[in-house]
Amino acid sequence: MRKAVYVLGAVLGSGIALAWAQGMPSDPQIAAIVVTANQVDIDAGKLAEQKAQGSEVKAFAKRMITDHTGVNQAAVGLAQKLHLTPESNPTSQSLKEGGEQNIAKLSGLSGQAFDKAYIDHEVAYHESVLDALDKVLIPSAQNAELKALLVKVRPAFVDHLNHAKMIQSTLAGQ
Amino acid sequence: MYQLHSPARRHETGAPALILAFAMMLLAAVPLAGHAAQPAHRSGGRAHTVIIEGMRFTPQTLTVHRGDRVTWVNKDLFPHTVTAAGKFDSHEIAAGASWTYVAAKAGEYDYVCTLHVGMTGRLEVR
């Protein structure tokens, strides 16, 4: 399981590294990364809300859906206001593919195995997105409002990561 | 008040009781919703504001006097709660919304957001 988390982290990380190697993303590319990153976690949350066994895991999934939907609404609204058309790029594509692989994997699991796999992925996902925010997205954002939005939502990703880690350690003890 | 929620009584008394119940629910909802538009002097105390933004309560500790009104304003993009177990509970405060509490009793109240693990605050009522 732990190995799978690292592999997944590497998948997410490779997209970020690729974008890094190709130069800093533009604002339309950042918009695509933000919207995709949120959508991937909303989709996983919707699956987990249905399939999760533990009440704590279900509640976490519901929180992910609500919080990331709120962030996405703000991101889409800002993109429209700034006339930014989200532009697909290696990082957003990598996030999307990673999300689809996660859903495919989770779909075949049930019970505690599902809960552990979902939470392990949530830990890896939030770590990767935080890494991207700090190293690529926030430093690259040119528009002040876009940068401010990224800075504003960063603490939510930290809180979600801490929350996921708490559940992960609880599940490990079961 | 609880009788108004009793199906048996509602059945006996018919529509007027339902209207009365609805009116009372509306009245009861006013202090719960804590409309910030109400002037602070109505309660005789000062008005204070705690901003909820970036997963933090700011100021993290607020000291007020009895009778003061404290309004928590949620500037984040998703809901939060202001919850001191057994003392007060805002329930979910939507993004962009606020909740006001009249600090009636002296005491020190540690509160949390029940939706997010790391969010804590403290209200001291002198």
Q: Name the residue of chain A whose CA is nearest to B95's CA.
A: A70
Q: Look at residue B19 and tell me whether its pLDDT is greater than 80.
A: no
Chain mean pLDDT for chain B: 78
Residues of A in contact with B115 (CB under 8 A): 63
* Residues of chain B contacting A, Cβ within 8 Å: 53-56, 76-79, 95, 115-119
Residues of B in contact with A73 (CB under 8 A): 77
Q: Look at residue B20 and tell me whether its pLDDT is greater than 60.
A: no
Query: Helix, strand, or coil here: B119?
Result: coil
Q: What is the pLDDT of residue A173?
A: 87
Q: What is the pLDDT of residue A12?
A: 53
In this predicted model, what pLDDT tens digit does every residue of A145-164 receive, in sequence order?
999 999 999 999 999 999 99
Residues of B in contact with A163 (CB under 8 A): 116-118
Q: Which of A61-70, B26-35, B63-72 has the lowest mean pLDDT?
A: B26-35
* B54 → closest Cβ in A67, A71, A152: A152
Q: What pairs with residue B72 in β-bridges? A: B50, B99
Question: Is pLDDT larger for residue B19 or for residue B93?
Answer: B93
Q: What is the pLDDT of residue A174?
A: 79
Rg (CA), chain A: 16
Q: What is the pLDDT of residue A22?
A: 57
Q: Which of A36-50, A90-104, B35-49 has the lowest mean pLDDT?
A: B35-49
How much is the average pLDDT of B18-36?
Answer: 44
Separation CA A14–CA A4 (nearest Å): 15
Separation CA A116–CA A51 (nearest Å): 12
CB A94 within 8 A of CB A15: yes
A51 shares contact with chain B (CB less than 8 Å) = no
Q: Would you tell me how many other CB atoms lie within 10 Å of the CB of residue B44?
A: 11
CB A151 within 8 A of CB A39: no
Residues of A in contact with B116 (CB under 8 A): 63, 159, 163
How much is the average pLDDT of B19-43?
Answer: 45
Separation CA B43–CA A96 (nearest Å): 53
Separation CA B55–CA A14 (nearest Å): 29
Report percent pLDDT > 70 for chain A. 87
The ipTM estimated for the assembled molecules is 0.84
CB A61 within 8 A of CB A52: yes
| Cβ within 8 Å, pair B77-A155 | no
